[in-house]
Amino acid sequence: MRHSLLAAAVLLGLSSAHASDQTESGRLNAFFEQVFERDLARDPLLQMHLGADNVSPEWPDLSEARRIENAALVREDLNRLHRFDYDALDGEAKLSYRLFEYNAGTELSLHKWRHQIYELSHRSGYQWVVPHSLMNDHKIASVADAEFYIARMASAKNLLLQLIEELKRDAHHGTMMPRFVYGRVADGCEGMLDGAPFKHGDKDSAIWADFKKKLSHAGIDGEEGDRLLAEGRAALLSGVGEGYHALIAYLRETAPKAPEAVGVWQLENGQAFYRAMLGWRTTVSITAEEVHETGLEEVKRIHGEMRVIMEQVGFEGELSAFFDHLRTGDEFYYPTTDEGRAAYMDHMRKVLDEVDARTGEILHGVPDIEIALKRVEPWLEKSAGIAGYYAPPKDGSRPGLIYINQVDMKRLPIYEISALAYHEGIPGHHTQQIMRQALEGVPQFRSNTGYTAFSEGWALYAEDLPGEIGFYRDAYQDFGRLSMALMRAGRLVVDSGIHAKGWSREQAVAWLDANTPIPHAQNVVAVDRYSVLPGQATAYSIGRLKMYELREYAKDALGAKFSLPAFNTELLRAGPVPLSVLEENISVWVKKHE
């Protein structure tokens, strides 16, 4: 059964719950819901992720006209927002006001830089959104669901053709990705077309296998099943297939014209652009030089703590020699075999289960939502990072997912398993995301908005928290915690080095090789990531440092009244917020409990 968008919004709890409240706060919340419902109607991806039932078979409109239209709507939203009487609002509504205002200002800033921001990379872009959304967010429980899946496969061609046009527009404005990106993305796209119905043989391509599996699980077979399979096959070939073939051809043809150098310093107004990206990712005003110096200071601190653990495990020699020992010792890695991959997953599952049982000692009020481990798909693993988290949809149709890239187990040291599980899962991303989704009594935009410095800052901060309740009992696992923190501190140095100081890829990799225990191959992957996402990697340490700064402030002010679980809960209480707003929230909380 197909629902109107408004009906779907009501089913999702997105209706204007405050419409009858005639206070200024009630009117403001009603305004927020109107804007959210309008934006939901314009965003098929958000509809799919929120579980709206077969609302639109389309993908987002990437055209320049649509982007200009979106910016005009945001400007009008700001005008409408500023007509409300801020002083007449209650405390929660004031927070929502400030967040909405901040988000709108950020959107307009990003609109200004839209031709400098890379449309895609080997790590991001709509060419990856298509398979991930279909496979992770699109459920099939009925014939209507299957028909919408087919329609989305068919309409993917238009999305990918629009993506090509925007790449051409950006090139006209002087923006091209580094040359290595083009081949990497093209290879990944070809991986999406590996198997039936694009190639003959017994192997199915990723989307086709997913569609067939979901039809089978839904019990749709017989003549109806045969019809849907035939239509799905045709849609996959003409929609996804033709779209990917066009994108692959463009990328292969364009690659020789792209710059070999990395770093946005080479773009028009590159330094100003990078500072804008740092502001967006970190949610604070910070210069590239400040980022660089902070990184060097953090690296020095962490090296000191590592030397202490090196002595504990009885290693004699320089820290650099210990790094080499960790990189080359077979005992620190599971083998790159099916058995080794399974053993790694079993190990991480045990770590998650142990900390999950004691989460109440870290923070309060965490919903009980399942988390699952999943290997990165073969078509993506050559270009994907080490791990990632994919939040569950609000309808609870699947658990939260931790993706692990197991293409080469030498990139997954055993001593980092605990810290990685805590970061991606519990009490890191999974915990923060499900608490965000559980927010009650706040406008919907707040439970559907994120800030890199907040979410990644929390996840990095969360890597330490299990150690405060007795975990990291093994010295090597504790070293893994420091290794992960060192990697993030190194990002401050390398990201600013690449984008503000003109470092080459080779320079950046060499710095990481010399200053971290991370294997060389993984450092190459990391530098390629930082090259295409300027500023993003700096948000982790900047967010973590702010949270520790606020924690020390709270401990000093509250003394014996300070409770770590209560403080951690307060960090997440209002959902994701910019770091400046987080500072205000903690200040209010401290004054309330003094």
* Per-residue pLDDT reduced to its tens digit, 20-78: 468 999 999 999 999 999 999 999 888 877 766 656 788 999 999 999 999 999 999 99
Q: Above 60 in pLDDT, residue 10?
A: no
What's the CA gap between 243 and 370, in Å, rounded? 35
- For 344, the enclosing helix (H) or strand (E) is helix 338-356
Q: What is the DSSP code string of 165-206?
A: HHHHHHHHTT----HHHHHHHHHHHHHHT-SBTTS-SSPBPH
- Structural domain spans, the chain: 1-114, 272-544
Q: What is the mean pLDDT of residues 482-491?
A: 96
Whether 344 contacts 375, CB under 8 Å: no
The interaxial angle of helices 126-137 and 179-192, nearest 10 deg, is 30
Q: Above 60 in pLDDT, residue 4?
A: no
Binned at pLDDT 50, 70 and 90, residue 7 comes out as: very low
Strand partners, 204: 196
> HEC string of 88-103?
HCCHHHHHHHHHHHHH
Strand partners, 403: 374, 388
Q: What is the DSSP code string of 469-494?
A: GT---SHHHHHHHHHHHHHHHHHHHH
What's the CA gap between 234 and 153, in Å, rounded? 9
The predicted-structure confidence for 500-546, as pLDDT tens digits, reads as follows: 999 999 999 999 999 999 988 889 989 999 999 999 999 999 999 99
The predicted-structure confidence for 207-228, as pLDDT tens digits, reads as follows: 999 999 999 999 999 999 999 9
Lowest-confidence range among 97-106, 132-141, 356-365, 416-425? 132-141
Q: Above 70 in pLDDT, residue 158?
A: yes
The interaxial angle of helices 222-235 and 143-172, nearest 10 deg, is 0
Q: Is 358 exposed, middle or buried (0-12, 13-18, 19+ CB in 10 A)?
A: middle
Strand partners, 404: 375, 387
What's the CA gap between 544 and 280, in Å, rounded? 16
Torsion of CA 222, 223, 227, 233, to 10 degrees: 40
